[in-house]
Amino acid sequence: MTLTSMTTLLADAAARSGGVGAFNVILLEHAEGLVAGAEKAGAPVVLQLSQNCVRYHGALAPIATAALAVARAATVPVVVHLDHAEDPVLVYEAVRLGLGSVMFDASKLPYDENVAATRAVVQHCHARGVAVEAELGEVGGKDGVHAPGVRTDPAEAAAFAAATGVDALAVAVGTSHAMRTRDAVVDHELIAELRAAVPVPLVLHGSSGVPDDELTTAVEAGMTKVNIATHLNAVFTGAVRDRLADDPELVDPRRYVAAGRDALAAEAARLLTVLNATAGPGPGSGPA
């Protein structure tokens, strides 16, 4: 199993109408917990390292090296992926370090500039066997972006994919990053239209705010890669808080961070099951 190709992973999932869980890593324990959850679910997983995570650690290499080591030891397929990189220099560093997939996010630029910048990154990465995800439309940040005017247009998305050569496309269909409540309303009709128009797998960002049934329906409608970060961080942090509250004298980080890691593993396994609730069998499917 171990490290695998993002392109292969997404193609296999799409073929069986399943979803691939893409979960963000901040600490080493995140990578360990997410892989443990994937192994429990018997499903592949994507370990994502965001540009913000790189800023937190001060460099990409330490956390990327750790994530790659955890991935290589896994018993299920794992992809280590750079998430939401707005700087091509960071993308090129990820390629040098051995990450097999990157997301280059130029969605804040005007359409023509987004196309040109993304195409240049795709050419560099494809020459080195690395898959590229891009974004079209505005998924939005902490304040939420749900107005129809910022959602991805299917015809424009098809043209963007053709012009850039991307391997996957993140689209705006009603979700928003960093949501703390799971009540986002996803436009499943738009997902189906995008799926029919766009020749590459679709990616749902900001999925922490999406309830379980909506996640399953989004995958059925045509989403393949589903990104979840804030919700899993809340699970991790909640378990740490509970552990410290249970034992105010506790000072060994291994004992309380482990509680977060274990809770993260359990929730990751559950979410992977949700994303594949109606999928057909495939590589790595079924409980381990």
pLDDT digits (tens, 9 = 90+) for 198-255: 999 999 988 888 889 999 999 999 999 999 999 999 999 999 999 999 999 999 999 9
pTM of the model: 0.91
**Is the separation of the CB atoms in 248 and 16 below 8 Å?**
no
Where in the chain are the domains?
6-275
Q: Which fold has domain 6-275?
A: TIM Barrel (3.20.20)
Q: Which residue has the higher pLDDT, 16 or 264?
A: 264
- Is the pLDDT at 269 greater than 50? The verdict is yes
| CA nearest to 76, candidates 121, 12, 124 | 12
| CA nearest to 30, candidates 268, 246, 273 | 268
Average pLDDT, the chain: 90
Identify the pLDDT of residue 144. Answer: 43
**Is the separation of the CB atoms in 121 and 87 below 8 Å?**
no
Identify the pLDDT of residue 143. Answer: 43
Identify the pLDDT of residue 148. Answer: 45
Distance CA 251, CA 236 (A): 18
* Exposure class string for 84-95: b at 16+ Cβ within 10 A, else e: bbeebebbbbbb
User: DSSP letters along 121-153, please?
Assistant: HHHHHHTTT-EEEEEES----TT----GGGSPP
* 144-165 per-position pLDDT tens digit: 444 444 788 899 999 999 999 9
Give catalytic residue positions: 83
Q: Which residues pair with 79 in a beta bridge?
A: 46
Q: Are strands 101-104 and 202-204 parallel, antiparallel or unpaired?
A: unpaired
